[in-house]
Structure 1
Amino acid sequence: MLKTTVLNAAHRALGARMVDFGGWDMPVNYGSQIEEHHAVRRDCGMFDVSHMCAVDAVGPGVKTFLLRLIANNVGKLKTPGKALYSAMLNEAGGVVDDLIVYYLSDSHYRIVINAGTADKDLDWMAARLGEWQLDVTLTPLRMGPKAVGMIAVQGPKAKAKVWEVLPEAKAATENLGPFFGVQVGQLFIATTGYTGEDGFEITVPAGKAEALWNALLEVGVKPCGLGARDTLRLEAGMNLYGQDMDETVSPLDAGLAWTVDLKSERDFVGKAALLAHGQKWQFLGLKLLDKGVLRAHQKVTTAQGEGEITSGSFSPTLEVSVALARLPLGVAIGDTVQVDIRGKLLNALVTKPVFARHGKGLI
């Protein structure tokens, strides 16, 4: 039996094509995936991200817990609402999951983890709490009276559309910087996203999620599915757990060194392994020069050795096939490499691993 979000009936009413996504019944598109992609780059689109798992971490030991649990340094979070992106690592330095942490107070943080790894993540966190004997309560906001839905509204007109529906939220959100969240009544509104565009991710009580979704529909926000979400995040150079990294991959090899704090004396799970092994691979972009489509797991031949594509697709913004790839050290941006596509070696240009953001192509 597939799990369903609080917006499942709304998706079906719109005629969405539904698929099994990590055990969840989710919309892949509502018609044209390309149109949904362009709506977010050029105007405004929205996504049901209620399958993601928000977890409130509360207690006197919560800051110590997070300082030891994740690779980035939550000690940098001083202003209520400020967030950071990071990963939980295992002792070998592999990525248990990537996540966002919001600082709400010294005794209250909110963690947003991936849907498909939520049960594993919660078990991992509970085990660390038991091991470290810290006074922290973890509350997943999925069931019961605290259950929430989450809607991501993204695009150059996203904020204006949200304020049209939620005028009471404008004063509290119009001056929020990137990676901030604020409580507005029963809503938690954050300037985070997974598309490379401006907008909000809105956490709403589960019973009010469908009304908010329908209100956004009425002001012209286009519903978008997992298909457009994947091409948008790929163009923006954003990692997908299970494809671009997993428990066998170091964040240093997945282009996530910027989310790892190795400079402070703070210890965290996996730090010793990262220091011992260092970076073994580069995480770079590819733009296909020949005719074809780049896909995950295709082999890449370079003068420095063989690499592999982790995510690849046709880019609707650039109208060319692009990919994220793990390549040998020494490969440089501007190099031409070969990708094995169905037994043929096709040429690809090595680029920065960000192809499009804020409505514009970057390569």
Structure 2
Amino acid sequence: MNKRTALYEKHLASNAKVIDFGGWDMPLHYGSQLNEHHIVRKDAGVFDVSHMTVVDLNGERVIEFLQYLLANNVSKIVGKTGKALYTCMLNEKGGIIDDLIVYYQAEQEFRMVVNAATRDKDLAWIEQHASNFAVSVTERTDLAMLAIQGPQAIEKITPLLPDALRDTALNLKPFTACWDDNLFIARTGYTGEDGFEIMLSNEQAPAFWDALLNANIAPIGLGARDTLRLEAGMNLYGSDMGETDTPLESNLAWTIGWKPAERNFIGRDVLEAQKANGEHSVLVGLVLKGKGVLRGHQAVYVDEAGGKGEITSGTYSPTLGVSIAFARLPAGVYEEVKVEIRNKQIPAQVVKPPFVRHGKACIDI
């Protein structure tokens, strides 16, 4: 039997189409994935993301531990209460075990949010290395997590925030968080729109969900979440990256904390060798120039000699009205490629993601 979040019955009450997602029963949509996408781009929607894994890390050597465990350097956020950092957790070969967000709460306290489908291997890897630093690892299965996203999200949620946290929450800068004993509020998201991600107890979640819907914040399923994140140029673990792909091969070089040079994080030697030779594959954005829809695993031809790569994620962009994708290609710099769709090679423009941010196009079509 699949796992269910504290909001499962609420999804059924809103006529959600429920699917299996990483061992969880989750809402794909509540009637129209397309409408839900546009709601988040133009108004405000709420996602149940309680399937994500929340982990609290504590210990005198927790900073030292995270500097070793993560490719990005947590010293960037140390001393900045509530500050968040996006990073990858790598294996010894530089492959991405998972991408995650880590929050600085106090000198010996951090909170980490990792993907649902990778929970078991993530926890095993974290605990394996945490033991060497005497760091405690606590999975917060008592918490639900909601993402309220869209240009009207903050305005609509403001009356629902507790008095003691309201002003602080409304003044949060992107990638920062605040909290009290009941709510953890972060100005983060996976849509390219403004908003909050809020953690609260499983017991509180249903009533808070109802309050959000009563504030005309629409429920949004995982289907729209996927098209929104692709438009926003955000990778999906398991599609655009995995354990055989390094950050340099996944358009995530910006998440590597190269300095200081003496910081020895897992996989660093492999990344340094890749960076030096420059012969690794690259992840790029594509916009289809002809008819068709870009889908995962379609072949991408980069030259007349038959060199090719592959689409990792692809979809029709509801905001742009064209088909867009991520593709992993051989080392090189490209302006145009051809994608095989139904035995035809259709031209596609190579672009630098994101495609859409804050409801507006970031590329020339």
Q: What TM bracket, shorter-length normalisation?
A: over 0.9
Q: 2:14: which partner in 1?
A: 14
Give the match's secondary structure for 1:207: coil
Q: Does residue 181 in structure 1 map to residue 180 in structure 2?
A: no
Partner residue of 2:148?
A: 153
Q: Matched residues in 2 for 1:256 and 1:277: separation?
A: 13
- TM-score, structure 1 normalization: 0.96
1:56–1:140 Cα contact (<8 Å) kept: yes
Q: 1:352: Cα distance to partner?
A: 1.2
Q: Match for residue 89 of structure 2?
A: 88
Contact 2:130 2:137 (8 Å CA) reproduced: no
Aligned residues of 2:250 and 2:282 also touching (Cα < 8 A): yes
- Equivalent residue, structure 1, for 2:111: 110
Q: Which residue of 2 aligns with 1:274?
A: 271
Amino acid at match of 2:126: M
Q: CA offset at residue 276 of structure 1?
A: 2.0
Say whether the 8 Å CA contact 2:144–2:205 is kept in structure 1: yes
**Residue equivalent to 2:362:** 362
2:28 is aligned to: 28
Partners of 1:224 and 1:129 lie apart in 2 by 36
Work out the CA distance in 2 between the residues paired with 1:352 and 1:302: 16
TM-score by length of 2: 0.95
Amino acid at match of 1:159: I
Question: Unpaired runs of 5+ in structure 2?
Answer: none
For residue 274 of structure 2, what is the amino acid of its counterpart?
A: H
1:133-180 alpha-carbon deviations (Å, 9 max, x no partner): 2121110001xxxx0100000000111111122252320111111100
Match for 1:121: what amino acid?
A: D
* Cα 1:162–1:184 shift into 2, 3 Å: farther
Q: 1:2, CA displacement in angstroms?
A: 0.6
What percent identity do the matched residue pairs reach? 54
Which stretch shows the higher mean deviation, 343-352 or 222-231? 343-352
- C-alpha RMSD over aligned residues: 1.1
Question: Aligned partners of 1:301 and 1:45: how far apart in 2?
Answer: 38
1:43-102: per-residue Cα shift (whole Å, max 9, x none)?
A: 001100000011000111111110100000001113100010001100000000000000
Asked if structure 1 preserves the Cα contact closer than 8 Å seen for 2:157 and 2:215, the reply is: no
CA contact (8 A) 1:283 1:353 kept: no
**Is residue 274 of structure 2 the alignment partner of residue 260 of structure 1?**
no
Deviation at 1:262, TM superposition (A): 1.9
Compute the displacement of 1:330 (Å): 2.5
2:159 maps to what in 1?
164
Letter in 1 for 2:245: V
Whole-angstrom distance in 2 between the partners of 1:18 and 1:51: 14
CA contact (8 A) 1:302 1:331 kept: no
Work out the CA distance in 1 between the residues paired with 2:161 and 2:178.
Answer: 14
Structure 2 equivalent of residue 140 of structure 1: 139
Pair 1:37-2:45 in alignment: no
Distance 1:152 1:86 in 2: 20
Partner of 1:327: 329
Q: How does 1:272-311 map to 2 (within 5 A)?
A: 272-278=269-275, 279=278, 280-303=280-303, 305-311=307-313
Give secondary structure in 1 for the equivalent of 2:204. helix
List gaps (5 residues or longer) in structure 1.
none
* Residue equivalent to 2:230: 234
How far did residue 302 of structure 1 move? 1.0
Secondary structure of the equivalent of 1:261? coil
How many residues of Structure 1 are paired with residues of Structure 2 in the alignment? 355
Residue 220 of structure 1 corresponds to 216
Q: Secondary structure at the match of 1:55?
A: strand
